[in-house]
Structure 1
Amino acid sequence: MIDEQALLEALNSTPVVDGRPHDLWADDTTLGRWARRHGGPGDQPALEWLRRARDALQAATHGPVPQAELQRILAGVHRLPEVGASDLRWRLRGPPERMLAAELVLAWYDLQERRPGRLRPCGNDECRLFLLDRSRANTARWCSMKTCGNRLKARRHQERTRQEPRT
């Protein structure tokens, strides 16, 4: 099952470390563990679909939604109702190799609908992470105040200090 935390883990799987971008999902073993932890298979076709979904959702969070790519991921996927004694549940059905990738895409759209504007890239242009703003005022700017926030504030302070005339 893909929840908000799992969605953020997926989006944030390409961090910048020591000034260089890294893809934490480049390793099949690591991604396979992530997939199994979230109820999916860890086989090669499923992993490739997960990477495609992650890349498309990162692009969508930065700018225009890559509709054609997301449509390819969701092709043949259906939600079917299952009636229980006291509830109605919707089950996802489709090609097994795309199910977890489809869940990732659906979780992204669900978050966009429930919390519009709350999922966004970090305000640090050198960072490749995303944040989910849970603040009341919807004013969070950085993935982490400790790293990106403090770094940018210190940089701005240094720039202001250099520009101030000496007396």
Structure 2
Amino acid sequence: MTEDERPGNPMRDEELLLAVLNSAPVLDGRPTDTLVGEPGQESARSWGGTGTPAELDRLRRARDTIQAVVRSPGTAALDELTAVTAGAVRTPRVTTAGVVWELRAPADDRLAVEVVLAWSSVQAAHPGRLRPCANDECNLFLVDHSRPGAAKWCSMATCGNRMKARAHAERTRS
């Protein structure tokens, strides 16, 4: 695993977090879940996981819980995130590049723990900028990197365009 792939890298953390949070999109009005079956196994392996059914189950639980926390901060779902990280240990290792934190957790728990740590890292680096798409028919999340912090949609090309078109149609009807 290269330094860029190692947990604790801010770019990797955000990438992993959004990939997992956005693994349950609504397509053509129907909820889907890409963390099941072979596609889920391939995704887990691409993120450094094992791809076992137990790992995918833990990953879906972590995803669903983080989604609930992001949608409704201060919820009791934090207890579930605590349960995900129970038994995990991070230890420092000093290298010539600085301190590298190594995560020890059971193989099937490791990726879910990494996602919770990535969520924490993104929250610390971008407070209040992790949010659900403002389109109620969408189930995706975004990290707002805009200067004013006003981004609302997962994609301007899809949800943003749809929402603006709806607002325009509503105004013209009124």
**Global fold match (TM > 0.5):** yes
Percent of pairs identical after alignment?
A: 51
> Structure 2 CA distance, aligned partners of 1:46 and 1:97?
4
Deviation of 1:3 after TM superposition, in Å, equals 2.3
Return the index of the structure with the highest Cα Rg. Answer: 1
> Structure 1 CA distance, aligned partners of 2:122 and 2:39?
25
Q: Deviations over 1:70-119 (max 9, x none)?
A: 11110111111113356321101122210110000000011001100111
Deviation of 1:60 after TM superposition, in Å, equals 1.1
Select between 28-37 and 107-116 the one with higher mean Cα deviation: 28-37
In the alignment, does 2:137 pair up with 1:121?
no
* Corresponding position of 1:16: 26
> Structure 1 CA distance, aligned partners of 2:96 and 2:132?
43
Deviation of 1:134 after TM superposition, in Å, equals 0.9
SS of the residue corresponding to residue 3 of structure 1 reads: helix
* Corresponding position of 1:6: 16
Runs of 4+ in 1 over 2 A off after TM superposition: 83-88
Match among 84, 88, 91 for residue 80 of structure 1: 91
In the alignment, does 2:85 pair up with 1:106?
no
> Structure 2 CA distance, aligned partners of 1:6 and 1:86?
23
* Corresponding position of 1:93: 104
Deviation of 1:127 after TM superposition, in Å, equals 1.0
Q: What is the number of residues matched between the two proteins? A: 162
* Corresponding position of 1:58: 67
Match among 49, 53, 57 for residue 48 of structure 1: 57
**TM-score w.r.t. length of structure 2:** 0.87
**TM-score w.r.t. length of structure 1:** 0.91
> Structure 1 CA distance, aligned partners of 2:123 and 2:57?
24
Unaligned segments of structure 1, at least 5 residues: none
Unaligned segments of structure 2, at least 5 residues: 1-6
Q: 1:84 to 1:158 in 2, by over 3 A?
A: closer
> Structure 2 CA distance, aligned partners of 1:84 and 1:156?
54
> Structure 1 CA distance, aligned partners of 2:169 and 2:95?
62
